[in-house]
Structure 1
């Protein structure tokens, strides 16, 4: 029998309760093996200076298992996370995406690939036990992130049920975030399509396989009028109401694990002043309705990208690390 078939009664022992508190986080690609990536020491210092607690980072499967069956943590990861712990920052590791050794790098949906994913996740969790508390099982499964094909909620549930109990057995104190669908999960709420990924995911069979629900209520890439702030509000209110009304999930925290507005000079970009206003309002409104954390995308602007002109402008710092107006707002701690 595959290692990932685990009875529900087994995972009941891992039930965790949480105090409802509010924290800010930031997305930062600090574990990348790309030589042109962010300088981790500079980034961590800037994150701390902005008054942010959570640092959400990709812990890519492909970087841990380069050769099939041979797992190793890149030395850089230890350096980055050790520095974050010294600064009082809380890392969140995203356990994703595909690996070329399994299903041609696509999402793990067959037995061998799921088993391999669980081995990788287990290896990472065991390595960082005592240093990393928060883990996210995949990211935007319903989309094409990581150059993978669109995934179904059914297959995502299978992966979560495989990985969750194994992670909790290794580190019972871990907090596992699931959901994390792209903003397409809210299309039905906005009257755009019939898809309702989050509602389908929050079924009774998943109650014992998640600690935190994550959402990505972006509006930047939506077409007018659905790119307005009202659409952000509609999405987070829907998610909050759905979690509270879903039996077994009402006491589980809800995190916005990605949200942001780009200041790129594209047709979807906004001014730096507007970015600051949108993010500040987004944080305050999220806290007001009981969401437990808001993680902003992302720490620093990238270089211009003709293929994706809006993407480089999401930073709260400019590419040269000059502050955008949102930094002053974050430091003032407004409503939070």
Structure 2
């Protein structure tokens, strides 16, 4: 066993420390402070709105509602297609084709984020809407759709990845998207004044060129928020990380803040995730779990402007292990959980009550998220390098402090022990007091 002095030579102090100095203990917070779960929507993508009464993707409302409850999520995202909501004779309302969506929405399991999208087979020039008549018909549908789900306090999103369709069809232009927003937003607000209307749903956009053109149209004056989809599963293996997603999202936020003149203009990530397909773009189930937990923990620090994140998707949509689209789920096609399911549940449970949070980059490529909550100070720590291993120890006595990983069934005492840090986040709870300073060393 190494001597105490030898151990000290292995230790480097966290550059910023992990002291909760500057983070008041819970009793000193004002009554206005709200927990993260009241300020931030953590959701998951589902597929109840597409495919008719029976889903070829294996989505069944009763099972999926239970899974959302298990995860503890407070939102879900799904499609609300125009062609299935407006029947001949311009009758608006849920139809048999939308029965699965109606059941999940009206279950009250979580707040719906619904996609207003797709043309209507009875409306000319509606895929996408490119004429005044088609836009007005779309706006009428959007208003009726908003009114039909208003009791569930939805967020409504304009279309899905319009910019991706633009690569093949010039009708999906920036100008046509902005024109649709200008007509839809007033109609929706008249029908459901308190329903947030979100534009964007921007798919892969290298260099943000399409996004910048969209922002130049002044579209944000017709929106309560902007949404973006962020994936990196087909990038070089070293970039298939939460860090890359966070960096790109931060750049996106800067563009939006500049265009809106509001540093807190609401941003929603309405799709993000990693596929576990057994092909060159897939990641391991453990990496999917670690990346997703890291992203949720980090999101707690950005809630001033980041208002929601929807993980793609609740369950695998198919059975082919090599098919990218079949393997994004938190649960497998047979509804058995992947490691990411408990990682999501554990990471969200750790931060959902937080009143404030901040991120620190530490020596050795470690990331620390510090939060304050009514239960006391907390810290989540992980290594951005999946191959690096560290250990941390409380520098001062904290007899009530505990530690765990997101999937652990129970926490252990953090008193006088070296705790392992890897790409799987280490979650330290200080047990009613501030998080003490930590010593850090490379794992032996």
TM-score (norm 2): 0.63
Q: Which of the numbers 229, 242, 251 marks the counterpart of 2:255? A: 242
Q: How does 1:269-284 map to 2 (within 5 A)?
A: 269-284=282-297
Query: What's the offset of the Cα at 1:111?
Result: 1.6
Aligned to 1:294: 309
Q: Which of the numbers 300, 303, 321 marks the counterpart of 2:318? A: 303
Aligned to 1:326: 340
Equivalents in 1 of 2:290, 2:222: separation in Å?
Answer: 36
Query: What's the offset of the Cα at 1:295?
Result: 0.7
8 Å Cα contact 2:44-2:312 kept in structure 1: yes
Change beyond 3 A, Cα 1:224–1:318: closer
8 Å Cα contact 1:240-1:289 kept in structure 2: no
Query: What's the offset of the Cα at 1:259?
Result: 0.1
Question: After superposition, what is the alpha-carbon deviation per residue over 1:123-144, rounded to whole angstroms, capped at 9, x for unaligned?
Answer: 2112223224311111111113
Where structure 2 has 5 or more consecutive residues not aligned to the other structure, the ranges are 1-33, 353-444
Hey, which of these two has a bigger chunk of strand by percent? 2
Query: What's the offset of the Cα at 1:227?
Result: 5.1
Equivalents in 1 of 2:238, 2:71: separation in Å?
Answer: 32
Equivalents in 2 of 1:149, 1:101: separation in Å?
Answer: 22
8 Å Cα contact 2:113-2:155 kept in structure 1: yes
Question: After superposition, what is the alpha-carbon deviation per residue over 1:250-309, rounded to whole angstroms, capped at 9, x for unaligned?
Answer: 332111110010011222111110101111222233433442221100000022359x92
- Is it true that 1:24 corresponds to 2:48 in the alignment? no
Q: Which of the numbers 121, 133, 136 marks the counterpart of 2:142? A: 121
Aligned to 2:326: 312
The worse-fitting range, judged by mean Cα deviation, of 154-163 and 221-230 is 221-230
Q: Which of the numbers 50, 54, 64 marks the counterpart of 1:35? A: 54
The worse-fitting range, judged by mean Cα deviation, of 226-235 and 261-270 is 226-235
| Partner SS state of residue 268, structure 1 | coil
The worse-fitting range, judged by mean Cα deviation, of 21-30 and 313-322 is 21-30
| Partner SS state of residue 220, structure 1 | coil
Query: What's the offset of the Cα at 1:98?
Result: 2.0
Hey, which of these two has a bigger chunk of helix by percent? 1
Aligned to 1:62: 83
8 Å Cα contact 1:107-1:148 kept in structure 2: no
Change beyond 3 A, Cα 1:68–1:217: farther
8 Å Cα contact 2:143-2:192 kept in structure 1: no
| Partner SS state of residue 164, structure 2 | coil
8 Å Cα contact 1:40-1:80 kept in structure 2: yes
Query: What's the offset of the Cα at 1:178?
Result: 1.0
Query: What's the offset of the Cα at 1:335?
Result: 4.3
Query: What's the offset of the Cα at 1:44?
Result: 0.8
Give the root-mean-square deviation of aligned CA atoms: 2.6
The alignment of Structure 1 onto Structure 2 pairs a total of residues equal to 305
| Partner SS state of residue 24, structure 1 | strand
Query: What's the offset of the Cα at 1:150?
Result: 6.6
| Partner SS state of residue 333, structure 2 | coil
Query: What's the offset of the Cα at 1:236?
Result: 0.6
Query: What's the offset of the Cα at 1:68?
Result: 6.5
Query: What's the offset of the Cα at 1:208?
Result: 2.5
8 Å Cα contact 1:143-1:150 kept in structure 2: no
Aligned to 2:435: none
Equivalents in 2 of 1:68, 1:215: separation in Å?
Answer: 35
Q: Which has the larger radius of gyration?
A: 2
Q: How does 1:47-126 map to 2 (within 5 A)?
A: 47-67=68-88, 69-75=90-96, 76=99, 77-83=101-107, 85=108, 87=109, 89-103=110-124, 106-126=127-147
8 Å Cα contact 1:254-1:292 kept in structure 2: yes
Q: How does 1:155-170 map to 2 (within 5 A)?
A: 155-170=176-191
The worse-fitting range, judged by mean Cα deviation, of 256-265 and 114-123 is 114-123
8 Å Cα contact 2:158-2:199 kept in structure 1: yes
Q: Which of the numbers 142, 157, 160 marks the counterpart of 2:163? A: 142
8 Å Cα contact 2:241-2:291 kept in structure 1: no
Query: What's the offset of the Cα at 1:149?
Result: 6.6
| Partner SS state of residue 128, structure 1 | helix
